[in-house]
Structure formats: C-alpha cells, structure tokens
Amino acid sequence: MEKSCMKISIFLIVLLLCSCTAQTPNRDRVAALEQKLVELKPGLGEIMGIVQQHHAKLFYSGTRGNWELAQYQIDEIKEGLEDVAKYYPTFKEVKLPLKDLIPKMMDEPLRNVASAIQKKDAKAFKTAFAAMTKSCNSCHQAAEHGFIVIQAPIGQEFTNQQFSP
C-alpha cells in the first residue's frame, strides 16, 4: 500500500538522521535530511482526496450490505483524518487547529457509522452516513474550505471493485 511505503521511507530517513547525528555532528547534512522529511509529507489535499475515495467506497459497501468492507473503509477514513491532524495540526489561518477541529466535528458521526456497520443495520447506516457527510461539509466550512462539498456518490465510480458481499 502506498501509505505503508511512505511510512517505511520516513522511518528509514529518520533512522538515517539519527545515525548521522550520533556519528557525525554535521549540521548541514542533518538539515538536508530534515528537509527531505518535509518534502515526503503528503499534502493536505492528497490526504483528503484519499479520504474522499474511502467515503465513496464506504457508501457503496454499506448500501450493499458488505459490512466487512464497510468496516475497512470507515477505519481508513479514521486513519486518514488522524494523519491530517498529525501532519497538519494547524492550517493556514483556520481559527480552530485541525487537530482540535477534526475530532470535534467528526468523532461522533464516525462512531455512529461504525455502530451501524457493527449492527449490520442498513437503515441506520444510511442515516449515519448522511449525517457524517453533513459533518464533513460543516468541517470544511469551519476550515474555511466551504467550497469543498462532499455528497453521497450518484454513480458507480470504482467499477474495478466489487462492493456487494
């Protein structure tokens, strides 16, 4: 998976950085490695684009009763949002730091979707998914990115994956 490869790359660079620091106190070399770490950090838009893909796949799997795949997708969404909070705790002039805004806006809706998945309750899933999507858009508004409006998919976007169990 792309994310795992990135994590391994970052780990190796950090390991290299630590070994350079321990063996040779070469500040220029350490600074160059630190810059490489910054360059490897995925952009906020890239992370959120992946979260959006998982949002669509969550919809497809949940509305078709593929609860195992739906659970996987909600976990991926949570992981993506955790990455946003970790890599971008603050963002531009957004009043509330993303590390605080995301849990405030998204924790409860994510729990509700996860609960519907666990219960394998299609009606509760649809309701919770709609509320989660609304929270996504409220979060975008609060982050001064209200021009990004997420919705439930209206067509099959991922025709190369089976979403029915």
Question: pLDDT for 96-133, tens place per residue?
Answer: 999 999 999 999 999 999 999 999 999 999 999 999 99
The parent domain of residue 17 ranges over: 2-40
Min mean pLDDT across 14-18, 75-79, 103-107, 136-140 is at 14-18
Is residue 33 domain-shared with residue 57, that is, in the same domain? Answer: no
Tell me how far apart the alpha carbons of residues 148 and 133 are, in angstroms, rounded to a whole number: 12
Whole-model pTM: value is: 0.79
Is residue 108 domain-shared with residue 80, that is, in the same domain? Answer: yes
Helices 122-142, 98-119: axis angle to 10 degrees equals 170
Task: Give the confidence band of 39 by pLDDT, cuts at 50, 70, 90.
Answer: confident
Whether residue 81 is contained in a domain is answered as yes
For residue 146, pLDDT beyond 70: yes
Contact between residue 151 and residue 138 where contact means Cβ atoms under 8 Å apart:
no
For residue 88, pLDDT beyond 60: yes
Is residue 70 domain-shared with residue 30, that is, in the same domain? Answer: no
Is residue 10 domain-shared with residue 78, that is, in the same domain? Answer: no
Average pLDDT over all residues of the chain: 89
Is residue 48 domain-shared with residue 25, that is, in the same domain? Answer: no
**CATH number for the domain including 121?**
1.20.120
Whether residue 147 is contained in a domain is answered as no
The residue type found at 152 is A
Domain count, the chain: 2
The residue type found at 101 is L
